[in-house]
A and B are shown apart, each in its own frame.
Chain A
Amino acid sequence: MSPAAIERPMLESACSKSSDESRRSFANLRGVQWRTDLGILPPLSSSTIDDLRKVTADSRRRYACLRRHLLVDPHLPKDGSNSPNLAIDNPLSQNPDSTWGRFFRNAELEKTVDQDLSRLYPEHGNYFQSTGCQGMLRRILLLWCLRHPEYGYRQGMHELLAPLLYVLHVDVERLSEVRKEYEDHFTDKFDGLSFQENDLRYNFDFKKYLDSMEDEIGSHGNATKVRSLDELDPEIQTIVLLSDAYGAEGELGIVLSEKFMEHDAYCMFDALMNGAHGAVAMADFFSPSPVGGSHSGLPPVIEASAALYHLLSVVDSSLHSHLVELGVEPQYFALRWLRVLFGREFSLENLLLIWDEIFAADKNKLEKGAGDDTGSTFGIFSSPQGALISAFAVSMILYLRSSLLSTENATICLQRLLKFPENIDLRKLIGKAKSLQALALGPSISSSSPRCGGAYNHSKSMVVRSHTLPSDSISPKTPLNMVPDSYWEEKWRVLHKAAEQRNGSSGKQNPTPKKGWTEKVRLSLSRTASDPSPAKAGCGNDHKPSVRRRLLEDLSQELGLDEDTEKAGCDEVSGQKDHICKVVEVENQDGVNNDFTCVAEERCLSGIAGSEENSSLFSDPSSPLSGANNHENDSEKSSVASNSSIDETDDHPEANHEDTTLPVSHLPNNATLNSGDNNEATGKSLAVPKERKLLSGKFQWFWKFGRSNDGEETSEKGNGALDVTKSANDAGSQSSTVCSSVDGSCYSSTTGDLVDQNMMGSLRNLGHSMLEHIQVIESVFQQDRVQVGSSDNFSKNVLVGKGQVTAMTALKELRKISNLLSEM
């Protein structure tokens, strides 16, 4: 047929251009593009306009049939019978099969649908809220749900449908624009002046000829000059062709047709929901029960959310673990993201761009290798389109990375995830998603241990979790960003290393400048602050244990500053001690006295160290404050642990005293932990001043904590500490308290059982370490006090003599405590 023959070259020329830009030629005809992507229309490059028309007409006919069949008019007798059985077909009939029964059920469904439709896209209300559009949406949704009773109508389906209808509408509008501009090509005027090659039907009407002649002469040139179709833009060409009414199907075959928008939208919606041609079936996301063929017995949307988290863990483990710690399960936000394909997170224009990408993604299911059966359990990764969807979600999470990491509150995290910011660079997001998609499709995903289970049941495994750090399993080609481990994981590692080392390791290492290290600790601590500076992040994870080892060695030989400083501190503190103890008792509000007393004690001891803060040896009080906070947080674990252990074993009054001594012993621990101070002291004095500094810092911190309990403000670090101790306080069982502090989660659940053994072990270790440190300190005391020499401060010399005695008593009590601990 010549029309087809003529059209074919045109179409192909149009398409060849389009293939250059891959999809840009239909940038303005999204409706057609999406229909092609969804599989409703055959791809333009390999088909004629006739094929297109045929397919379009078929799909529309199907819809019309469905509509006639399912939309019920109860007045019309069922099945064409003229005398309906009135006992069944009356309006009040209870019979579910009766026409009226179906009518009422449809009415119910319509009511549900209407509830959602009335709230659809109010910002674009002039289109979406118009009665015509609403009527179409309602009918489409109704019919789809009636056709698929196993899914029913779920909220969110309307949001999937709305953009589909919208793009069709936009296409039709574009068509009418083009029609206005290029009128001649749309009309069938054969007045001799314009002759369209693609139209062979010769319809010469004299009258019309005369009229049109006059029109042409009189026209103000709205229509462009007549030219052949070839001269037009390929885009315009295709528009003209697609709106052509000629062909076997007649009007039904016009690809761009306003009259059949409902039919087309239904076909698109159906294809989208059912996952035609291997695409991700959106309908699965709405089903509450596991789809057959899934490896895990989870509903598909839960599985997909877990897949999302899995991908995130591979890409950015610290963010992932942060979210998991907080208890932010993926489905809280991913449910909405996935079910509506991000419809609620972006404005309509952005959403159209995103859907362009998603629909264009390759839909073929990947061949999975043999070894993957054990690995990948995520159905969503089995096709590039699914991988793109999850990759896009992960890139959205990564976009919010800094704001997510900065908060310790799960609710705030969720709020941030659910309220995606307005002004975003969509291209960047999409680009990132594409790179992540490649990652998701790669073998690394299957090879890394599927943490979906972990993500799903994270609450039980707070302690255990640290054993399965994903960093171990990251495949070499992965990370797009190197992210430091979270603060608490470092702590855990440090604790364990310290435990090993206390059990008799030996190895000296030179202290590396610890400035950066403390900085790093401080910064990683300041999760409540806005941004952890990644610069410091890389510093000395390993430095901690090595430093600690070194310090222990040094301590044993250490002289100098020790006694001076201690005495100085003790002296000052002694005066304050009573006061503080009183404060402590005042603060014994919640019955968590022991913690408070410990706080107080530490405060005392920090007082001891406080004097030294004035020294040039140590950094300014303000900085040790922060540094101390670091130390504090480092040490709080142990201190809180010890507190809790004391709670378990001691009476109140005894606890008071013991608590006093406790922090001192712990502080040496912490001193070793926190090697890096802003300290230019020599190596010798390094250890002890650090201890002191730790003491001071810790006390400052706890003091602040105590003050906060009086209702005063705390620093943000105080907050962090507050939370930790609060969690410690709140926990019914001490073990869970310790656990929470050990793991560093402010919101750990109180799972006492799981953690008991770990706690016991750690307590025992603590006891040992305490003992060792006490020995060290005592040895230090027994030596001659004078030393120090370099970079000493004046105040120490003054206070040396006085502080000695108190320090000794404090040490004795520390020893008692450590004995108790060791016995546990």
Chain B
Amino acid sequence: MVLVLAIGDLHIPHRAADLPPKFKSMLVPGKIQHIICTGNLCIKEVHDYLKSLCPDLHITRGEYDEDSRYPETKTLTIGQFKLGICHGHQVIPWGDLDSLAMLQRQLDVDILITGHTHQFKAYKHEGGVVINPGSATGAYSSFTYDVNPSFVLMDIDGLRVVVYVYELIDGEVKVDKIDFKKTATTRSSH
């Protein structure tokens, strides 16, 4: 029962001041084992805040991040799953599933987490899962102002991952749940 938080595109302080208070009250230290951050935090203070929630923080570089030492992509293994992180501005067209699938194959991961579009997406694709946690602050993106703050919490338990999506819609936190099961065999190659 490993809880992994996937969060990104906060754009603090440029496009947003802070996380929504309802989100902040939910994110308490002690419950979450790992944090995966797609990028665009942008400043160190946000990094420190996330670090306070959980010491195990994995972060990739977004184009507005002020710390240039973050890697472009990152992979890690949690339980039975291999996870890959990338900000997503490198993958063109932005948000295109096929291109993201290419990246997933390239990184050889079961779960790929990317951002940049500021919209929550979760695809099951070719034996793998592509997740976009959206923007946790609801910051405007390059192509739209209408952004709902959202983030994702994954519950990895053996061969099964449950994805909880937390969205702030009209001032209320809405939660949704998606179940993914990994097949025991390796993914079929294309």
B155 touches which of A91, A94, A104 (Cβ 8 Å): A91
A86/B176 in contact, CB under 8 A: yes
Residues of A close to B3: CB separation below 8 A: 91
Q: Which residues of B contact A480 (CB under 8 A)?
A: none
Contacting chain A: which of B24-32, B69-77, B91-99? Answer: B24-32
CB contact between A75 and one of B26, B162, B166 (< 8 Å): that residue: B162
Is A90 in contact with B31, judged by CB distance below 8 angstroms?
no
* A92 adjacent to chain B (CB < 8 Å): yes
Contact A90 B157 (CB under 8 A): no
B166 nearest CB across to chain A (Å): 7
- In the assembled complex, the Cα of A104 lies from the Cα of B153 at a distance in Å of 16
B166 touches A90 (CB 8 A): yes
Contact indicator A75/B157 (Cβ below 8 Å): yes
Measured CA separation A87–B174 after assembly (Å): 6
Contacts between chains A and B (CB distance < 8 A), count: 33
Chain B stretch 131-190: residues in CB contact (< 8 A) with chain A:
153, 155, 157, 162, 164, 166, 173-177
A92 touches B26 (CB 8 A): yes
- Are A94 and B25 in contact (CB-based, < 8 A)? yes
Report the nearest B residue to A88, measured CB to CB.
Answer: B175
A87, A91, A94: the one within 8 Å of B153 (CB): A91
Docked CA distance A94–B25 (Å):
8
- Cα separation A91 to B162 with both chains bound (whole Å): 11
- The main secondary structure of chain B at its interface with chain A is strand
Please pick, from B25, B27, B177, the residue contacting A90 in the complex, using a CB distance under 8 A: B177
Contact call A87/B173, Cβ cutoff below 8 A? yes
Q: Name A92's contact: one of B1, B31, B176 (CB within 8 Å).
A: B31
B174 touches A90 (CB 8 A): no
Q: Which bucket holds chain A's interface residue count?
A: 10 to 19
Contact-residue size bin, chain B (C-beta under 8 Å from the other chain): 10 to 19
**Cβ of B52 to closest chain A Cβ, rounded Å:** 16
Chain B residues within 8 Å of A91, by CB = 3, 31, 153, 155, 164
For A93, list chain B residues within 8 Å (CB): 26
Shortest CB-to-CB span from B9 to chain A, Å, is 19
The 0/1 profile, CB within 8 Å of B marked 1, for residues 82-113 of chain A is 00001100111110000000001000000000
Q: How far is the CA of A93 from the CA of B23 in the complex (A)?
A: 11
Tell me the bound Cα distance from A104 to B26 in angstroms: 14
Measured in the bound complex, the distance between the Cα atoms of B177 and A90 in whole Å is 9
**What is the CB-to-nearest-CB distance from A732 to chain B, in angstroms, rounded to a whole number?**
50
State A463–B95 Cα separation when bound (angstroms).
Answer: 87
Write out the residue numbers on chain B whose beta carbons fall within 8 Å of the beta carbon of A94. 25-26
Residues of B within 8 A of A92 (CB): 26-28, 31, 153, 164, 166
* Interface, chain B (partner A; CB < 8 A): 1, 3, 25-28, 30-31, 153, 155, 157, 162, 164, 166, 173-177
A residues engaging B (CB < 8 A)? Answer: 74-75, 86-87, 90-94, 104
Top 8 nearest A-B pairs by Cβ distance?
A86-B175, A92-B26, A90-B175, A90-B164, A87-B175, A86-B177, A91-B3, A91-B153
18 A-B residue contacts at CB 8 Å? A86-B175, A86-B176, A86-B177, A87-B175, A90-B164, A90-B166, A90-B175, A91-B153, A91-B164, A92-B27, A92-B28, A92-B31, A92-B153, A92-B166, A94-B25, A94-B26, A104-B30, A104-B31
